[in-house]
Structure formats: structure tokens, C-alpha cells
């Protein structure tokens, strides 16, 4: 079996460190890893695969030695500058930033949902937004059978989605310090404000979910609305998803569709207090679905509660799964 070379850009960040953990668990046929970061974190040592790896400063020549794949988790500016350089050296980039997601020739991929799109890349494959990733698994499972007409998203997003600064803000404001990352003390409020506000009154995060869902499901005219809220939870995003279908459904059949779809675990026994929780999703790669019930206010309507680890399945694990598909 061929052995591959993999570069990790942003190796010391929250997502980068999680990607290293996932790579240790998945045991892909990678013969050589190299870890890259910005200048401030260069020369650090990271324990990985039982050894100490030096972390190198990323520059224009970092990809000269030749890599098969690279995972970028260092923010949009880094991806915009260095991903094309990597591609020019015949390296396939899986990018966690939002920079390339909506470009027509860049596939936006969740492997359980649209794996066929992986192979139509021109060197860059985009990882979707963390909130989009967990949503599209149950949506795809049900769209295959009932054809989705409209979606209403309400998200409850953990502070880890804002990186280390978001985590620090929760801890600091719990101890009475002023917030630095968020506009208000996240320890005291749910904040209906993720990323910047746009001219249409939506936040950039909300529009990401809308546009990315349409692209991944290949339904450019799908009616979607979204409200994204930051909540004082350390990790794992929760989402209330209201769906209206073109076709009627039987609730028991809906549950079977979800149970049989790869990457989904159904937890739906409300009478026994069994439903997805952030705490239970932490450290897992699956998407947990529960509170499955009819929306009795509309014909062919359904409500779901969807929870997943936004750092693992919402970023790191999804990226590694894409590389696994490329190898296999």
C-alpha cells in the first residue's frame, strides 16, 4: 500500500490539535507528517503518535519538499495565501476556513452526505461550517426520501466554535473579568450574534448555514432561514431544525431513515429523558438526533434536535474523513 505525506497547518490551534488526535485514532497510511504554524508558535514541540514533533513556521517554501495532502486550520488569511501555493506543488488541500467554500470549482464536502463531490476538486476541498456539517447529515437522510421544501435553523453554539479566545472568554467572565472575544459576558447570556451582521439583518454565520446547505445538498433554491446563537457551553453545538417536506411521512419511518444513515445516532426516548446533550457528544464523531416529532402547525412538518462535537465532527474529523476518502 502506498504511503502518503501529510502537512497540518495550524497544528497548535484548537482544531489542529483535535485533527492530530483524530489522525492518531484513524491510523491512515501516512508515512510522514509535518506540522506548521504561524511565526509566534514556531519551534514548539507537540507529542504526536508517541513521538515529539517540531512545529515549523509556515512560509512560501513550506510545500517545496512535496506533500500529498494538507489540512489547513489556521484561518482565512493563511488559507488564502498559502493554500494555492500548496496546490501548485501538487498537494491536495482540505481547508477549514470559509474562504473557498462558495467558490464554484471548490467542492464543499461532508463525506457521509456528498462523497462524490470530493473527486471533482481542483486541488482544494472545503470543510463546511461546523453548524452546517452536523445539520446536513439528518437533512440528507430525509431529503433522499421525502424531499425537503423548507428549513428553519435555530442554533445554540458552544464557545469553542470561536476558538481559544472564545473558551477564554467563558472562563474569564465566569471569574468576573470583562469579555474580550464576545460583545457581552457569555457566562451571563445567550448572545444572538455570531460573526458580523450583514445588510439583510442576518449574521454572516447564519448566511453561511443557508448557502452551504444549499450547495452541499445540490438544492440552490431551497428555502432556508436561520438564527445562530452563542451559548455559555464549552463544547458541542446544539440545533433545533424545523423541516417542511414535499411528501408525507410516517414518523416511525423517519426514525428508521435516521437510524440507518451513516454517522447518525438516534437518541429519542423523551419519556425516559433520553435525547442528545452537548456533554454526551463531546469527543465523538457521530451526529446525535432526538426530539423527533411532527410539526403540527404545517403539513408534512418535522422537528429535530441535533447535537455534535463542533471541533471534531464539525471540523477536524470531517477533514480527516475527506482525506481517508481520497486515499481509499
Cell numbers 444572538 correspond to 192
237 is catalytic: yes
What secondary structure, in 3-state letters, does the chain show?
CCCEEEEEECCCCHHHHHHHHHHHHHCCCEEEEEEEECHHHCCCEEEECCEEEEEEECCCCCCCCCCCEEEECCCHHHHHHHHHHHHHCCCEEEECCCCCCCCCCCCECCCCCCHHHHHHCCCEEECCCHHHHHHHHHHHHHHHHHCEEEEEEEEEECHHHHHHHHHHHHHHHHCCCCCCCCCCCCCCCCECCCCCECCCCCEHHHHHHHHHHHHHHCCCCCEEEEEEEECCCCCCEEEEEEEEECCCCCHHHHHHHHHCCCCEEECCEHHHCECCCHHHHCCCCCEEEEEEEEECCCCCEEEEEEEECCCHHHHHHHHHHHHHHHHC
91 is catalytic: no
Catalytic residue among 91, 130, 218, 257, which? 130
137 within 8 A of 263, measured Cβ to Cβ: yes
Tell me the Cα Rg of the chain: 20
Catalytic residue among 61, 193, 237, 257, which? 237
Residues with Cβ within 8 Å of 10's Cβ and at least 6 positions away in sequence, in order, are: 16, 36, 37, 72, 73, 74, 75, 78, 96
Residues designated catalytic:
130, 237
Amino acid at each position: 500500500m502506498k504511503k502518503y505525506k501529510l502537512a497540518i497547518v495550524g497544528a497548535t490551534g484548537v482544531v489542529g490539535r483535535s485533527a492530530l488526535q483524530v489522525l492518531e485514532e484513524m491510523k491512515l497510511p501516512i508515512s510522514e507528517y509535518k506540522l506548521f504554524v504561524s511565526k509566534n508558535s514556531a519551534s514548539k514541540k507537540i507529542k504526536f503518535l508517541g513521538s515529539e514533533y517540531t512545529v515549523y513556521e509556515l512560509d512560501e517554501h513550506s510545500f517545496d519538499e512535496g506533500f500529498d495532502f494538507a489540512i489547513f486550520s489556521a484561518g482565512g488569511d493563511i488559507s488564502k495565501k498559502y493554500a494555492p501555493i500548496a496546490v501548485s506543488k501538487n498537494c491536495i488541500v482540505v481547508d477549514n476556513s470559509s474562504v473557498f467554500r462558495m467558490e464554484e470549482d471548490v467542492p464543499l464536502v461532508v463525506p457521509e452526505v456528498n462523497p462524490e463531490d470530493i473527486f471533482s476538486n481542483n486541488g482544494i476541498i472545503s470543510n463546511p461550517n461546523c453548524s452546517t456539517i452536523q445539520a446536513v447529515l439528518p437533512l440528507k437522510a430525509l431529503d433522499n426520501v421525502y424531499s425537503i421544501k423548507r428549513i428553519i435553523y435555530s442554533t445554540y453554539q458552544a464557545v469553542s466554535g470561536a476558538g481559544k479566545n472564545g473558551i477564554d472568554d467563558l472562563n474569564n467572565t465566569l471569574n468576573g473579568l470583562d469579555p474580550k472575544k464576545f460583545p457581552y459576558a457569555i457566562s451571563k447570556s445567550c448572545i444572538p450574534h455570531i460573526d458580523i451582521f450583514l445588510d439583510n439583518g442576518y449574521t454572516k454565520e447564519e448566511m453561511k448555514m443557508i448557502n452551504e446547505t444549499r450547495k452541499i445538498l445540490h438544492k440552490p433554491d431551497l428555502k432556508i432561514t436561520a438564527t445562530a446563537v452563542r451559548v455559555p457551553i464549552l463544547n458541542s453545538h446544539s440545533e433545533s431544525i424545523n423541516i417542511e417536506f414535499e411528501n408525507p411521512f410516517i414518523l416511525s419511518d423517519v426514525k428508521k431513515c435516521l437510524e440507518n444513515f451513516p454517522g447518525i445516532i438516534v437518541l429519542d426516548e423523551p419519556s425516559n429523558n433520553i435525547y442528545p446533550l452537548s456533554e454526551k457528544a463531546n469527543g465523538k464523531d457521530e451526529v446525535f438526533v432526538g426530539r423527533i416529532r411532527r410539526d403540527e402547525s404545517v403539513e408534512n412538518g418535522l422537528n429535530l434536535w441535533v447535537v455534535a462535537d463542533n471541533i471534531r465532527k464539525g471540523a477536524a474529523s470531517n477533514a480527516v474523513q475527506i482525506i481517508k476518502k481520497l486515499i481509499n
